[in-house]
Structure 1
């Protein structure tokens, strides 16, 4: 008789030990020590390789089956028959009867392995033969004092919250106040500017002299200018007078383009009293408007009286937006947030800008004070790892799962369990059974309770399909899952859930495990009953015969014939 091993998806035989590959005996000794096995309750055998005088490894026989996760990286050994040991996930062909064992092996025990074939186990190795124990001399010693050594492992990490008043004080600390050194033009200066305009073209840096040299010469003489640099002095004086004669809004826009940070001291909020179209009449004055870039202080203004920027509102708004973006792109997120919050009154953009700059705590304060959005503030605190403040807000919002997750990050497992339990009760109260089951399994580590919840959903017809599908998916043992399918089929089917059960069977059939044909037979029995009752379509057969083209055609003809019978007019 020729014995062969066939690869099998699961272990068909019980475990009896494990294989240790390699000729070094210290490997199996180290494995026994790591697994905590008692040497008095194990047997170890040497195994040959296909090369002469070179061992393949060792077989360690234990008194009970060891979990596969503990054995890694060693391969478990399984007892295929009372006298034959094989590797994991393999089946012996042909199957052996007691008579076969008696004829083949008599009273001996053999190992069948793909690496070295069939081998008869002889006398087990003795650990004393593999170890050399030297006598340890007795030394006089003193017991050291007790001490504690840090493991060096970081169990949890979080950032302590800054007191709110400290945040506001830091943000209120602005730049020094300044006055714009820019006096209005006198009568003489205004007349001189008129003369310049008659011989100059263009504005500012683009101003040039008119080619009418005679008039230009008379003007230079009139102003007492002469020499080679007379024309340069004329241009410089013209540009200075022209700049001082600009309207205040133009001055502000020019300053924002040249030095946006300095210009913010003189900017006005667009919805400040009198700053929008139709507000009180007056004149906008370029004056320092306060303590600087304060996000949480009072009004940014105070000096300058009422303003009316009229048609300049749109142009000023565009410049504010451009300035905010420029500050943000240069990494000055707090100053960009000042523009959004205080000048444009765009609180959402201010919070987002602070988040981009990773000023999460300040962004949270903006969300709470201006947006009144506690969830957004909690998310900001969470991003900044300020878990205590985030947990307080999530608990207020009754988002207990999120509070539990953050308590886990803080290392407070007891508070996390309490929060998860409250979330579980909330989900059950709203019949969200799938979420409740996942919470029990993944967060509370309570799989039996999760299965109870899912089975309740199936029995009470609350999201029955998904509940039963997840219930069976949580049973990792194929035999146990099949037994549960049979139990439900025999004791829990009724006209309210039999079609749902058929849909679940189609999913189990698609898994292609060892009970695939059993599932198909069960589905055929249920299909027959439902078809005879006229409660389903024959197309349901295709879920269990997806590659049968002839059945697909027959099913279509059957459905068409039924339709003709229903629609045939009475004689």
Structure 2
């Protein structure tokens, strides 16, 4: 059969080679250099003119697999049947199967050129490109007098556009928002002139000064001094001064009111204002000086009691009546201020945007400095968020809004939610930051709206949450600033990733090396090997570190599995079986031989290789045989992995194992449960169970460490490189196996960054877990609930109002909900527990939590149910054993069982006469709980096992457990539970026979 080439207009195959025509070696080298491919990876062959001439017609250059050639290569070639190179824009006719074409080829590589024909090449025909270079003979020139010349300028390391500061950005935005005067609002009936706010403030100050003078004159200490004779002129003088001062002030005030009511605004009015202000200040200073010189503090003035006009009694005389009149006038001003607040609330129903301009801030850490003259009218404010305005610096008129705070807060929250839904994120941030003093929510709203720099400034400067600021900058694409902040936080791997994205490999490598140092210091060889292999591209160091991890106790199987996986992936020519024999002989003690077989079983499944399988089978015979001879038949099942073609091996192993086991009646159903001893060098602080596994967290050498274990004795260790204060940090783990495989790490020290730890699924653990400490969560001690689909919710208390804030799994804000406590006692006493994150559980669409002595249930319809107990609640937990929802709580006076349902809730409170000092509770059976004091310090605090019985006496104390517990964990056996101590000891305890 004769084959021909036919040209086509479209490429028929990808380009993997090129024909460089001509005989100019310099032109060949220049073209190859333009491609940017490593010369040592190219295969080059000289192509002769014809079968009768060895004069070169050109050069065939074959690129390595996967290396792209430039699109403008003059004569690109592709490969057919693995060995035949033909032009990309040509097709072979007639079509031939690759097997048939491959059988017809005679040489390892062949070129089919349209003009030169078919040319074949042996492997030895490959041309070394250095052979194309010729070096001229050296010249007899004396170079000893050469000058060094000008030094090279330093290489450019960074090109960064100078960005404006956050304050400048916000001030620019603020200038774009127009403001209106208070006079634009419809006036009240008692608003006769534009100067009323200033007049009201002066009037209030004058009344206060007059009342202070009258109170000073009425003090009992104003009588004659001991040993002095009676004096008639002093009471008359005091009376005359008081009456004269008040009459003078009232006269000036009346004249000023009339002047402003007529619209006067001249220099006389301004001078009168200054005169009255000076008079008020003088009178107040006189009163303060008199009081400071007195030997005893004066009692509060009483208006309405007996006395005489001379000031020796509590006045029913002239001074008493004058004091009552001044007090009534002040009370009238307060009523006007309250009426102004009510006017503001009504304005929220009519025009929310206008109401926000006159809204009163409800406290915060950045209050303005000083006190301005009091007024009974509200002035306008700019409603655009401004970082520069958070620090205060201006004097303000403080309004007493205690009676209206809940109503104002509810209106502010509704307005903020409305602005978010409308996409006006800056205005929503203004409400949260300036009016509600919720800077965390303001930062999240700004980030959601794309104002990443402003949100990062709030996180860093106002909330002191640098991890959240760094992550915000990264999400906003401000990579350089984020990298520098991550470096400050000692998160060098993330800093290196960002520098790599910024095309700064040297800086990236420097941070990767620092991260490797920190990981090795924390004995995390698996992560250090990963960094060396995949980011520093140092395979030899990575394998050396992973072998060290195989010899350590942290994650030996993980390290060895990565060793073989990386070896096969990066060095295809390596012989894995030789590495297996070397590791078995030189690096595997007797206790590690079975884990070695388990790693080899995994590697043979993932990377089938005949030589590797044969070597693994030989080792399996040796190791499993020794184990069986010692009476340990558990690992005989591993033989099935290394004998995949033997269909009878499974039945043989089962028959052999069954014959050697004890009769079922002699074996305990939970005999296989094991309680491992954790690393005693770590101070363990908390642990949680999650179905068939458990996770514990502890501190050592200024680092946070994590242990993951099962109830068959297997433990894996992880660690974080973030430095932490050992004596100050309190770590807690939050888990809810009903909703999520996510475990939250909560820490008591703000501003610490911890990367998420993915605990993978393997043969020891049937479910993967993710342990993380989201930087975007509100700081400790905000209570948090885990929701389905890895979502979260937080709860905040605000003077009787509860604000529930849901979040998506990635931290995006969901619409918030507001709840009001149902009665006055709950609103007065319910608050956050200082310094400790109270529990909040999500079940059946409702949230369950507590505050002080109140059990709280937040329903989906926005209502809140509260149940009062005899003492404050300290801990709340759900029973994993009950078919219906059942909650247990520890109160100051005893134990509580809470059974909520759709119709209501049943609360059983048990208050024994002698109740131990406990703060935590854990269900260990359907009717059994262990009450204990969470031991975060070196204290000998026992635990107590209780059983709930239907008897009227309530729970029965079954036994005292002497171990000082940091956690109590249910096990796979419902009749047994475990106690973890700070020293890492895990002990098993039974319920039966207690």
TM over 0.5: yes
Of residues 373, 386, 389, the one that matches 1:295 is: 386
Counterpart mapping for 1:252-331 below 5 A:
252-271=344-363, 285-296=376-387, 297-298=389-390, 305-331=397-423
Counterpart mapping for 1:144-543 below 5 A:
160-167=162-169, 169-170=171-172, 173=175, 175-176=178-179, 178-180=181-183, 181-185=185-189, 247-271=339-363, 285-296=376-387, 297-298=389-390, 305-460=397-552, 462-476=554-568, 477=572, 480-511=575-606, 512-515=608-611, 516-535=613-632, 537=634, 538-543=636-641
Show the counterpart of 2:693.
Answer: none
Q: Residue 177 of structure 1: CA displacement?
A: 5.1
Distance across 2 between alignment mates of 1:128 and 1:415:
51
Compare 529-538 and 554-563 and name the one that shifted more: 554-563
1:421-460 deviation per Cα after TM superposition (whole angstroms, max 9, x unaligned): 1111111111211211111122212222212211222244
1:252-278 deviation per Cα after TM superposition (whole angstroms, max 9, x unaligned): 2333344333222210112369x9xxx
Distance across 2 between alignment mates of 1:426 and 1:307:
53
Aligned in 2, Cα 1:183/1:245: closer, same or farther, shift over 3 Å?
farther
Counterpart mapping for 1:81-96 below 5 A:
none
Distance across 2 between alignment mates of 1:29 and 1:546:
40
Q: Secondary structure at the match of 2:104?
A: strand
Aligned in 2, Cα 1:162/1:379: closer, same or farther, shift over 3 Å?
farther
* 1:68–1:76 Cα contact (<8 Å) kept: no
Count the aligned residue pairs. 418
Show the counterpart of 1:114.
Answer: 99
* 2:456–2:472 Cα contact (<8 Å) kept: yes
Show the counterpart of 1:196.
Answer: none
1:330-354 deviation per Cα after TM superposition (whole angstroms, max 9, x unaligned): 1211111010011111111101100
Q: Residue 283 of structure 1: CA displacement?
A: 10
Counterpart mapping for 1:118-129 below 5 A:
118-119=103-104, 121=106
Show the counterpart of 1:197.
Answer: none
* 1:461–1:497 Cα contact (<8 Å) kept: no
Distance across 2 between alignment mates of 1:387 and 1:401:
14
1:130 aligned onto 2:145: no
Distance across 1 between alignment mates of 2:344 and 2:538:
66
1:40 aligned onto 2:131: no
Structure with the higher fraction of residues in strand conformation: 2
Compare 244-253 and 442-451 and name the one that shifted more: 244-253
Distance across 2 between alignment mates of 1:70 and 1:319:
63
What's the TM-score once normalised by structure 2's chain length? 0.37
1:559 aligned onto 2:657: yes
Distance across 2 between alignment mates of 1:406 and 1:452:
27
Q: Residue 299 of structure 1: CA displacement?
A: 7.2
Distance across 1 between alignment mates of 2:424 and 2:536:
44
Structure 2: where are the runs of 5+ without partners?
21-31, 33-40, 52-58, 69-76, 85-96, 118-156, 192-335, 368-372, 668-994
Q: Residue 505 of structure 1: CA displacement?
A: 1.8
Aligned in 2, Cα 1:488/1:157: closer, same or farther, shift over 3 Å?
same
* 1:287–1:303 Cα contact (<8 Å) kept: no
Aligned in 2, Cα 1:41/1:557: closer, same or farther, shift over 3 Å?
same
Show the counterpart of 2:741.
Answer: none
* 2:473–2:481 Cα contact (<8 Å) kept: yes
Distance across 2 between alignment mates of 1:37 and 1:559:
59
* 1:404–1:416 Cα contact (<8 Å) kept: yes
Distance across 1 between alignment mates of 2:166 and 2:443:
16
Show the counterpart of 1:53.
Answer: none
